[in-house]
Structure 1
């Protein structure tokens, strides 16, 4: 999966607006690019810069990501917790970000 133009995982905490939205991905993941496009659009509505983390590339420092989520990618994390997987639940994400 190409990551050009995407925010990278920095481990620095919450993004703008106090919310952190992360897409867990894997190189070659068929649905990850489509999920990123949808996620990026929703996050931009709220002024949030989403990040993308390749669970395989991050495995050396964060092996728990691949262990927990690696079999159901893409996964959307909202504030570090699983929000949706396989696709972006846009309606629910918008509602949760509006809170």
Structure 2
């Protein structure tokens, strides 16, 4: 018996940790939105001001790109690296 891969399992969880007043965050949002929109991958921005643990852990690294719960980039998001990361987990 063969199993069919679950298409939902192949969709990466992309989160961008941001904060108000961060000029690098605005740039990162534009990069993540462009790459994820082009690839059809949903993503979300997470305001670290709403989560004290994240704010403390990443205080000096904002913005931070998380893919499937793993930190993949910070400060400046590389669009080519993001595209490779997202494409690697797809059939």
TM-score bracket for this pair, using the shorter chain length: 0.7 to 0.9
Structure with greater helix percent: 2
Distance in structure 2 (CA, Å) of the matches to 1:22 and 1:16: 16
Aligned to 2:17: 24
TM-score between both structures, scaled by the size of structure 1: 0.74
Alignment of 1:1-99 (within 5 A): 17-59=10-52, 63=53, 65-99=54-88
Quickly say closer, same or farther: Cα 1:37–1:23, change in 2 above 3 A.
Answer: same
Larger RCO: Structure 1 or Structure 2 (Cα < 8 Å, ≥ 6 residues apart)? 2
CA RMSD of aligned residues (A): 1.7
CA drift at 1:58: 2.4
Give the paired residue count: 81
Unaligned runs of 5+ in 2: 1-7
Between Structure 1 and Structure 2, whose CA radius of gyration is higher?
A: 2
Unaligned runs of 5+ in 1: 1-14
Runs of 4+ displaced beyond 6 Å: none
TM-score between both structures, scaled by the size of structure 2: 0.80
